[in-house]
Copies of this chain bind each other. A is one copy, B any other.
Amino acid sequence: LKGLGLYDGKIVDLNKPAVLLEDRGYQFGDGVYDAWKVVDGKHFLRKEHLDRLERSCRLLDIKPCYSREEIEGFSDSLVEESGVNDGAMYLQWTRGWESPRSHVFNENLRPLLSGSIIPIPPLPLDAWTTGNKVITYPDQRHLFCHIKTLNLLGSIMAKNAAHRNDCEEALLVREHQGRSIVTECSSSNCFAVKDGVMYTAPLGNLILPGITRAAILGLAGQCEINVVEEYVSPEFFKEADEAFFTNAIAIRPIVMIDGRPVGSGNVGPVFQKLNAKYQKMMRGN
């Protein structure tokens, strides 16, 4: 099974040129995206992801030229025509094509929708039992982290620093109002658990409002786990009993930060409980 692309309303081969040089996505990163998981051929939380995609467009004055129904149709076609049963669905709006290149954009540009479906290989059997290592890394990103934009260099540089250090993710640390805070990871939200209470950064312009983050907060409520949405320091994460990160593709326990174990160094009970519920939810039962 191979991936399949979408460009401007048509299913396309991912390996053939589709994009014009002066697409503002290519020269300015002038666009937004969203991504969700296809599980057993079904779109998981598609409505929530499409809501967020519309919100991202609105916040950057990009006016989608397809209806919600049309976009759902494109994503259905990607599943059907690719035959991918378990995969990652990706959709992206750029502000459109405009020549000659100019920082100033015409307010009436027709935006361009592109996307893909890519099969996801089965998870390694130990994904939730051995845990992941992370590093701390400076959050050098812009001040619109609440919008899912294509301006991802700050995230990429952090993620690759993590991988060079044999770690899966980077806890991003920002100087904010006179103190060091953990915002989120390079492509996920993150949580710390201390004395049975779960901590995560509050919504605002410094983190993405994760769909999985919201789902996990909902499940925490069902489990009667107290949640505090406040910024905490990197030291707080390092001294926590447990930590984990979540995005639309995976939720993962953190067992080591900057080479030192978190809590016992094993996957903790709060993660295990939430993960069990989340996996059930994803399979629709």
Residues of A within 8 A of B (CB): 3, 5, 7, 12, 14-23, 25-30, 33, 60-61, 88, 90, 92, 94, 99-101, 103-105, 114, 116, 118, 138, 140-144, 149-157, 159-160, 163, 186-187
Contacts and interface: CB of A to CB of B under 8 A. Distances in A.
B151 A29 contact: yes
A199 to B, nearest CB: 24
A108 to B, nearest CB: 13
A208 B58 CA distance: 29
Given A7-B21, A142-B140, A104 B26 contact: no
B28 A25 contact: no
Contacts of A100: 3, 88, 116, 118
7 contacts: A22-B116, A28-B152, A60-B157, A103-B152, A138-B143, A144-B154, A149-B153
A99 B3 contact: yes
A110 to B, nearest CB: 15
Nearest to A119: B100
Contacts of A114: 21, 26
A48 to B, nearest CB: 21
A158 to B, nearest CB: 9
A99 B14 CA distance: 9
Contacts of A12: 21
Contacts of A151: 29, 142, 151-154
Contacts of A17: 17-20
A20 B28 contact: no
Contact of A155 (B103, B144, B149, B156): B103
A141 B140 CA distance: 9
A30 B26 CA distance: 9
Contacts of A142: 140-142, 151, 153-154
A103 B20 contact: no
Nearest to A6: B21
Given A16-B20, A99-B14, A27 B150 contact: yes
